[in-house]
């Protein structure tokens, strides 16, 4: 060390020693140490004695919104606590509205959850033989039982069953190594968005209307949401020219368009995309080098035979190269379909044509959570691999499955017809998923009343509906809607004996509302 540097170091140490021996320094804390660079203050760390003061939180955290459980939901909870009956049609939560779980699935889960039952001498009297066999098989997927961690991607045995399900559905190979099990589809979506979004110049194309998981997650991650409008006049189909315009506009502003989300069947719109529509989406994303994010969680919720569900992966593989080599992320869950097991929190993402190095990075991030919950993984195994035809439990399972789906089809028709019978309301038929998204043409007087109340017109309407009838819906503004239009979203999930009453309540309220503000 040179003499000059040694002298400077001794001088610095002496200065520090003098500072540390100043009276009262320790009681004042390290903030009293002189700033060697200057007296500039850093960011404010606390306010009113609170580090986590609302004004000092991450702005992306504060600005994120989730309308499905927003203002209307909080108001509904308030009214419920006051004793009012609330009909929660704001969220796709089938069991909360009376749907029963599948007998076979819950029997298997009972045995896997409590494995000592498998050794009980009377287990054969309590459970069908195929339930016992399936429980024994599923138990081998969880080393140490459901109370132990699995691989961070999820149990290999479950992932193999998911891969077999995808192969059977599409007719193309699927690898368990490209599948990540997650606590519902929502965490899988967030994983992928986190990987894609690098900064506020990275954009994600999202349909409008959209499920607010996407807008909230993109906001939290600091990315740019790029909305493209679905065409309501053609049953909410995708409009590729609209997507192209959005991409061109974004790139002119220096935004890197990294991913395109589509929801099929649609939420909140209930449409099923056609095979040709999917081909157009795939071709566009391949040409523009945009990752496809296929939200297919409602793939078994189909109510119109003319428009069946077709997976994005199948269409992409049917198209051949170069399209069959395109990057695709596909999501599914146990929360929807005839199962409706929302509380189990079981989901997956299949990573098709994703770079192996990126898959390794996703694995690393999944490892931070150690493992997805095991009950949700078991629920996924039972969803993708139900009882075989001819087995002891098959007929009951089939009857329960068909009963739910046929009822949902009837409920979709009841809701559509009911809305369309109202003055100033129009609603496309719910081809799939669990929702109706009727359009409202409200009187100008109601629009002015909403403005005076500091509410958007659709929020104003939905609040009045909630207070008058107890029906909890979500205003269309929570999902995004074309300028000058108003909507609301409601599920079609109230049981059949209840849904006619719900529609009657709605119609009576709507007539009264229109008369009041005419």
pLDDT, tens only, 34-67 = 444 444 567 788 777 767 777 777 777 777 666 5
pLDDT, tens only, 187-211 = 999 999 999 999 999 999 999 988 8
- Phi/psi for 478 (5° steps) reads -70, -15
Angle subtended by helix axes 240-252 and 275-288, to nearest 10: 20
Is it the case that residue 19 has pLDDT exceeding 90? no
Tell which CATH architecture fits domain 66-92+397-517: Alpha-Beta Complex (3.90)
Q: What is the phi-psi region of residue 433: left when phi exceeds 0, alpha when psi lies from -120 to 50, beta otherwise?
A: left
* DSSP states of 275-325: HHHHHHHHHHHHHHT-EEEEE-TTTT-B--TTS----HHHHHHHT-TTGGG
The confidence score (pLDDT) of residue 134 equals 96
d(CA 84, CA 502) in angstroms, rounded, equals: 15
pLDDT, tens only, 85-137 = 988 888 888 898 889 999 999 999 999 999 999 999 889 889 999 999 999 99
Per-residue confidence at 20, pLDDT binned at 50, 70, 90? very low
Is it the case that residue 178 has pLDDT exceeding 80? yes
pLDDT, tens only, 249-275 = 999 999 999 999 999 999 988 889 999
Buried-exposed string 480-503: b where 16+ CB fall within 10 A, e elsewhere: bbbeeebbbbbbbbbeeeebeebb
- In terms of DSSP bridges, do strands 435-436 and 439-440 run parallel, antiparallel, or are they unpaired? unpaired
What CA–CA distances, in Å, run from 96 to 134, 335, 445? 28, 12, 37
- The closest alpha carbon to 267, from 486, 462, 433, belongs to 433
- The closest alpha carbon to 273, from 283, 260, 263, 288, belongs to 263
- Phi/psi for 269 (5° steps) reads -90, -20
Contact 358, 327 (CB under 8 A): no
Buried-exposed string 273-290: b where 16+ CB fall within 10 A, e elsewhere: bbeebbbbbbbbbbeeeb
- Phi/psi for 388 (5° steps) reads -80, 150
State the chain's mean pLDDT as an integer. 87
Is it the case that residue 13 has pLDDT exceeding 50? no
Contact 348, 363 (CB under 8 A): no
User: What does the domain layout of the chain look like in residue ranges?
Assistant: 66-92+397-517, 132-384
Q: Which residue has the higher pLDDT, 323 or 56?
A: 323
Is it the case that residue 23 has pLDDT exceeding 50? no
Per-residue confidence at 69, pLDDT binned at 50, 70, 90? low
Per-residue confidence at 1, pLDDT binned at 50, 70, 90? very low
Which helix (H) or strand (E) segment is 227 a member of? strand 224-231
Number of CB atoms found within 10 A of residue 385's CB: 18
Q: Which residue has the higher pLDDT, 13 or 451?
A: 451
Beta bridge partners, 203, equal 224, 257
Rounded to 5°, the CA angle 160-102-340 comes to: 80
Is it the case that residue 29 has pLDDT exceeding 50? no
What is the rounded average pLDDT of the residues 353-380? Answer: 91
Please list the alpha-helical segments (H only) found in 141-256: 156-170, 185-196, 212-220, 240-252
Please list the alpha-helical segments (H only) found in 44-92: 59-63, 71-81
Question: Which CATH number does 132-384 carry?
Answer: 3.40.640.10
Per-residue confidence at 290, pLDDT binned at 50, 70, 90? very high
Look-up of token digits 């999820």: 154
Rounded to 5°, the CA angle 79-82-88 comes to: 35
From first CA to last CA, the distance across the chain in angstroms is: 88
d(CA 155, CA 157) in angstroms, rounded, equals: 5
The confidence score (pLDDT) of residue 170 equals 96
pTM of the model: 0.85
């Amino acid at each position: 060390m040179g003499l000059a540097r040694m002298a400077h170091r001794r001088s610095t140490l002496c200065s520090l020693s003098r500072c540390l021996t100043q009276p009262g320094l320790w009681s004042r804390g390290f903030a009293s140490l002189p700033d060697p660079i200057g007296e500039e203050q850093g960011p404010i760390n606390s306010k009113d004695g609170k580090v986590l003061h609302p004004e000092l939180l991450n702005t992306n955290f504060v600005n994120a919104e989730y309308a499905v459980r927003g203002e209307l939901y909080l108001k509904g909870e308030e009214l419920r606590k006051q004793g009012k009956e609330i009909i929660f049609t704001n969220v796709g939560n089938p069991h909360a509205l009376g749907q029963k779980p599948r007998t076979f699935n819950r029997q298997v889960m009972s045995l896997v959850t409590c494995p000592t039952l498998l050794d009980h001498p009377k287990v054969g009297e309590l459970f069908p033989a195929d339930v016992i066999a399936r429980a024994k098989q599923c138990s081998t997927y969880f080393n140490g039982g459901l109370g132990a961690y699995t691989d961070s991607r999820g149990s290999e045995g479950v992932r193999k069953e998911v891969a077999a399900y995808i192969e059977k559905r599409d007719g193309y190979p699927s690898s368990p190594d490209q599948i990540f099990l997650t606590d519902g589809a929502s965490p899988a979506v967030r994983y992928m968005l986190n990987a894609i979004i690098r900064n506020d110049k990275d954009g994600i194309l999202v349909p409008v209307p959209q499920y607010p998981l996407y807008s909230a997650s993109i906001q939290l991650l600091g990315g740019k949401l790029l909305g493209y409008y679905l065409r309501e006049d053609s049953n909410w189909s995708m409009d590729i020219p609209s997507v192209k315009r959005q991409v061109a506009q974004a790139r002119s502003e220096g935004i890197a368009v990294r991913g395109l989300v589509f929801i099929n069947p649609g939420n909140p719109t209930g449409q099923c995309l056609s095979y040709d529509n999917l081909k157009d989406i795939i071709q566009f994303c391949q040409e523009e080098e945009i990752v496809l994010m296929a939200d297919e969680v409602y793939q078994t919720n189909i109510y119109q035979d003319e428009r069946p569900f077709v997976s994005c992966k199948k269409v992409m593989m049917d198209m051949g190269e170069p399209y069959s080599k395109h990057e695709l992320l596909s999501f599914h869950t146990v929360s929807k379909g005839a199962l409706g097991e929302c509380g189990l929190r079981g989901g997956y993402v299949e990573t098709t044509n994703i770079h192996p190095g990126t898959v390794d990075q996703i694995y690393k991030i999944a490892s931070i959570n150690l493992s997805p919950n095991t009950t949700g993984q078991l629920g996924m195994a039972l969803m993708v691999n139900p009882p075989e035809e001819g087995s002891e439990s098959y007929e009951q399972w089939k009857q329960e499955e068909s009963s739910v789906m046929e009822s949902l089809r009837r409920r979709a028709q009841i809701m559509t017809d009911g809305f369309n019978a109202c003055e100033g309301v129009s609603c496309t038929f719910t081809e799939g998923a669990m929702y109706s998204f009727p359009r409202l043409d409200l009187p100008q007087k109601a629009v002015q009343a909403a403005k005076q109340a500091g509410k958007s017109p659709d929020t104003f309407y939905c609040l009045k509906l909630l207070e008058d009838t107890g029906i909890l819906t979500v205003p269309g503004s929570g999902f995004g809607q074309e300028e000058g239009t108003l909507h609301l979203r409601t599920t079609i999930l109230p049981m059949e004996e209840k849904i006619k009453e719900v529609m009657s309540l709605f119609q009576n309220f709507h007539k009264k509302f229109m008369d009041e503000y005419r």
